[in-house]
Structure formats: C-alpha cells, structure tokens
Amino acid sequence: MSPHPDSYFHKQAGSLLPSKDASFWYATYDNKVIATALFFDSKTTRIYAHAAANSTPEYRKLNAGTALLTEAIIDAKHRQMEKVDLYGIAPENAPKNHPWAGFTKFKRSFGGEDVYSGSTWELPLKPLQYWLYRAYQTIRK
C-alpha cells in the first residue's frame, strides 16, 4: 500500500475538523502516541478513512488500533449514528497475499457485513500536479 504524503492528510484534517465533518482519534501508551485514525463524520455515518499504528513489537502486541476503532464505534453509537463504514476491503475472491488482506481481516473482525457500493475515486483538483505526483510514485516503486 502506498500512502499519500503527509500534506494530503493535513489538508483533509484542516478542512474537515473545524466543521466537525471529521474526527481525529489517537491512542497513547506511556505518553507516546501509538495509533491514530481520521474518521469522516456525517449525522448518520462515521467513515473510517485513514489509520496508522506504531508497528514495533513493543507496541504491536497492545492492539491499539483495535481499541481505537472500538472506541470510535461506541462513540458513533452514543451520537446516534446509524452506521460505521470501515471503508474498503480486498475484493471478495482476492488471494490470501493481496496487499489489502491484513486490514481486510482486521475490519472483518468487527463483524458487520460487506456492502458493495461501487468504486471510490478521487478527482484531482490540480490535474498536472496530480499526474506528476503519480509519476513520482510509480518511479519510486
């Protein structure tokens, strides 16, 4: 999986957090942030948009991502949201070594159901800069 540059996430958070159209969650251990997540929120739905966790063995065993997502789901329920959308899994017949296999297993561990709602596309607002970014990502691989 190739994540976006930090500036991408900063722009999303900077535009959505002030209007309360997103919420930012983090988990700490010994005063150190070990997991974070950005959710997009509407009146009825919380969408699990982006997440990251410290993967060093010392912190991995704490399963902070699981605790963080659980708290966000409980909070959505308290806010009377109708659903939490965990936003994307591997295709149904994907091989076990699919790049999304790990987080698909993680998301399915919360129960719920798989819902196909079509593909998600990002529309670049600056096509030339986006093309250059994608070219850079391709070359970097």
Alpha-carbon span 41 to 6, nearest angstrom? 21
- What is the band of 124 on the pLDDT scale with cuts at 50, 70, 90? confident
> Which range has the worst mean pLDDT, 1-5, 57-61, 94-98?
1-5
Strand ranges of the sheet holding 45-53, from the earlier edge strand across to the other edge: 22-29, 32-41, 45-53, 83-85
Closest CA to 66 of 105, 92, 116, 97: 105
List the structure tokens of 108: 């399915």
Across the chain, mean pLDDT equals 88
Instruction: Please report, rounded to a whole number, the percentage of residues in the chain having pLDDT higher than 70.
Output: 96
What does the pLDDT read at residue 128?
92
Angle at the Cα of 95 (from 94 to 96), degrees rounded to 5?
Answer: 120
Thinking of the domain 6-140, which architecture would CATH place it in? Answer: 3-Layer(aba) Sandwich (3.40)
Helices marked H in the chain — which ranges?
A: 6-16, 57-60, 64-78, 101-108, 127-140
Domain boundaries, the chain: 6-140
Is the separation of the CB atoms in 64 and 102 below 8 Å? no
List the structure tokens of 42: 């509407």
What does the pLDDT read at residue 2?
56
Alpha-carbon span 42 to 131, nearest angstrom? 31
- What is the band of 126 on the pLDDT scale with cuts at 50, 70, 90? confident
- Residue 86 neighbours by CB distance under 10 Å: 22
Tell me the pLDDT tens digit for each residue of 25-84: 999 999 999 999 999 999 999 999 888 888 888 898 899 989 999 999 999 999 999 999
List the structure tokens of 133: 């970014």
